[in-house]
Structure 1
Amino acid sequence: MSTIAELQIPAAEFALSATFDAVPDAEFEVERVVAYDRDRLLPFTWVTADESGRDVLDEALRDDPSVDQVELLTDLDGEWLYRMDWVDAIDFLVHVLNEEHATVLTAFGESDRWLLRVLFPDRDSLSRSYDFCEQTGLSVEVTSIYELDQRRSGQFGLTANQLESLITASEQGYYEVPRGATLTEVADELGISHQALSERLRRGHGRLVQNALVIGTQDDGLFR
């Protein structure tokens, strides 16, 4: 039976740790990750760094030994979409993607940790991945486990920005018929651009659909 695991990995043991050291306010949200080689990954990643700014972030990414190539694809008023090659500190992801044929549903990184939500083909593949971490000395913590045929409750994998934008849009009447507020009015309330809000809502809606329909029940005792 397919299983979803919510995992936590110390930022120091994962890709981009040098970038976090240089830009501690940076937050990374992986949109999609592709394993196109045995020793490298190609993630498409949204990044914010409100205090440091993009120039500092770009320099940190260029100097980060876990990153080989970086390309800015989109600039949305303080949120930037990058395509980059991860080439170091990615043993866990390479294992789950190539060996266990798992799927990374969400990945969010901040200064001290990465939070991942991974769909495994079954419990055995999750157990093997956990064993791989123990054998290689990786500090991966399994915080929650869900089965796909059982009801789950809890959070829906939203980032803080997505949650704030969705709640504000609802409070302002954006989802009402007829609408009580336009997208521009909600964006003005949040202090961001119309385009940035549109992207936040789009990604937030995607997270809600994905995580509300992929349902299960929590089981915290498997690896205790």
Structure 2
Amino acid sequence: MLGGLPVTAVIVRSSANISAGGRTKAAAFLHGVFLLVAALLLAPFLNRIPLAALASVLMMVGFKLAHPKVFRHMYSLGKTQVLPFVITIVAILSTDLLIGVAVGLVTGLFFVLRANYHSALELRQDGTHQYLLRFKRELTFVNKARLARLLDSLPQGSTLILDGALVTFIDHDVLEVIRNFEESAPLRQIQVSERNFDNPVLRAQT
């Protein structure tokens, strides 16, 4: 009611709830009810609990959240997972919780865009002058520059197949790159054909 933001306590309460055996949404609801009842009816008794005891409980829960096995698990997932994890921790310890979380979100977003940038397109050479360009996921403006480079890298006199079997959406900017390439391909003696572009989303844009 006074505008307080209990950000630091949210993950601790969730962890304590899970440790106590909570498994469903009802556990989260009842947890909130118990906290409300305790704050309204048991405040005099809660104030008698030494702060050192409460701090020790909080430290124990925090240690479980930052257990060494958590770091080992994140490290085993690869640098795309461990780097945002470590950067977030360092940012929180160096600044404060809100700034650290914001830095972690931006870092995580960067790695998500980076992963999409590299995995959305796959250019494979099927023969001497035959190439297959497979669109593996949604193509947005992020993929536009890489798509243009892949198309420009095709040698003169080659054959290109554009495969849209795995894509459900192509951004207008990306589609414009494809159409411009198809129009200019004859100048480089490149034959272009499309397959699996019968998706309604793709057909509507083409």
TM-score, normalization: structure 2? 0.22
Higher strand share goes to which structure?
Answer: 1
Greater relative contact order (Cα < 8 A, sep 6+): 1
The structure richer in helix per residue is: 2
Look at both structures and tell me which one has the larger radius of gyration over its CA atoms.
2
TM-score, normalised via structure 1 length: 0.21
